[in-house]
Structure 1
């Protein structure tokens, strides 16, 4: 694998379209007059060790939004946050104990609209030093990592479906070992993979 920073910066330099939870499901229309709430998530790539790895979380099953799902550390933007990058860094510190000064921010990926009413900006960053993750027990059940090469390969993405609200709902997945990465997280990662391969 060539230099991961070069790969990621080249991906950011290419155009990427905004995505949403509705794009594979034209029959499930977003509510009319909806007001999307801004949110920021950190997409942290660790460069420590023999291969670059993407750090992810498994959300607590007690959460109101997306319980038990694989996700990036992040959340809704608060009034005190200067921007969505500040939101992503604050949430990563709160959720997994990542010091705010450690990530090297590379840029933003395409925004993603969730079915729960958030407009999410993924903030791509690299970590050049190790840190000891500390899970926020009320929000995060587990902190883990997967090989960056796996999620940057578009061939590893699948479209799957399940019954939801009286119909069949389709979504992207990118399984990796014991981890089932799906939904908005998989869709945002697929957007990065397509830009990295272009």
Structure 2
């Protein structure tokens, strides 16, 4: 299957719509997880889901590609993130620290909230922490284990040609979304969480603008 090539620019997704997409899962029957997989590792992890944009809304989402020589998940596309450390106050603090360590972004991050947890291939439970970032000229300082940073336009991702891949993990059959990108396929736990959030976001209507008298 040919790779999906997203446009360089796209209309912004209003921040109010983003906020609604993070609020809705909290009202569901299981607001803390979206995966049926059971984590076996008692440790916890967090990832930073950074939405870059401006006052008009979120324009792009930030992902990273692991280096091909990285000891874990070489070449894979993921959110910046990692394991909780004792010095971390909470899961958002873990996400902030990992974002700073992996891509060099430590300022200007406005915490928006968390999405229900996913479970990584290593069977570790991880929490996606969403951040709003309005840096006019985003720049990054990559960790040596990373290949590159990807800024994907947010709105087109909701209509991208996602496919479903059936995976067997420890006796459990999972239907996992997959998106072919020029750099590498976006799949696994990252795609599972991202597509679940995009589906909620797509179902949220844009806020109604007040009419002028």
Instruction: State the TM-score, normalized to the length of structure 2.
Output: 0.75
Task: Note the alpha carbon deviations across 1:42-101, whole angstroms, 9 max, x for none.
Answer: 0001105997011110012333332221001110000000111111111111100102x3
2:59–2:154: 8 Å Cα contact kept in structure 1? Answer: yes
Partner of 1:110: 116
Which SS does the other structure have where 2:176 is aligned? Answer: strand
1:151–1:189: 8 Å Cα contact kept in structure 2? Answer: no
| Pair 188,82 (structure 1): closer, same or farther in 2 beyond 3 Å | same
| Pair 152,104 (structure 1): closer, same or farther in 2 beyond 3 Å | farther
2:166–2:174: 8 Å Cα contact kept in structure 1? Answer: yes
CA RMSD in angstroms comes to: 2.9
Which SS does the other structure have where 2:191 is aligned? Answer: helix
Within-5 A mapping of 1:62-141: 62-99=69-106, 101-129=107-135, 130-137=137-144, 139-141=145-147
Task: Note the alpha carbon deviations across 1:147-170, whole angstroms, 9 max, x for none.
Answer: 1013334x63211257989xx975
Partner of 2:190: 185
Gaps of 5+ in 2: 1-10, 204-213
Partner of 1:40: 46
| In structure 2, distance between residues paired with 1:169 and 1:67 | 22
Instruction: State the TM-score, normalized to the length of structure 1.
Output: 0.80
2:14–2:57: 8 Å Cα contact kept in structure 1? Answer: no
